[in-house]
Amino acid sequence: MRKARKTFTATEDMVGKYINQHLYTDVVPVGKIVGIKSKTVLLIQPITETKNKTKMEFVVGGFAGHCVNQWAQDWDFEEYGEVKEFKMAANDRYVRISDVPIYYYDYNF
């Protein structure tokens, strides 16, 4: 028995949303969707993140220490550079579309 193949189709309601790449426990923003070129190609405005002055607190434990307030991370996001094409694959489980850009660094991994 064959599994049904997943497909991805870009829709106009995706414009204005963000693409975030989930790398196991870390999350990195890729860009803001500014347009659609075809069913699988999106036009994105790259974004960069800047950490606010949140002080990470570490205690003894784990391999080298344990960050007790890693959920308090606070980041500012800024668009930069030229608009780029981004091809979405139906089976890409690491890329997700979200209403907000997300950057998360897992200090305890």
Q: What is the pLDDT of residues 32-68, one digit of tens each?
A: 999 999 999 999 999 999 988 888 898 988 777 888 9
Let me know if residue 5 belongs to a domain. no
Instruction: Reply yes or no on whether the pLDDT at 4 is more than 60.
Output: no
How many domains, in total, are found in the chain?
Answer: 1
The parent domain of residue 46 ranges over: 15-98
- Dump pLDDT digits (tens) for 61-87: 877 788 899 889 999 999 999 999 999
**Is residue 103 included in any domain, yes or no?**
no
Residue 21 in any domain: the answer is yes
Predicted confidence at residue 52, as pLDDT, reads: 86
Is residue 89 domain-resident? yes
Distance CA 23, CA 102 (A): 12
Asked if residue 7 is part of any domain, the answer here is no
Size of the chain in residues: 109
- Measure Cα distances from 89 to 6, 27, 38, 58, 103 in Å: 9, 18, 13, 39, 22
Q: Which amino acid is at 14?
A: M
> What's the mean per-residue pLDDT of the chain?
89
CA distance linking residue 71 with residue 58, whole number of Å: 13
Q: Residue 60: inside a domain, yes or no? A: yes
Does residue 9 form part of some domain? no
In a domain, 6, yes or no: no
Minimal CA–CA distance to 8: which of 46, 16, 19? 19
pLDDT at 108 (0 to 100):
84
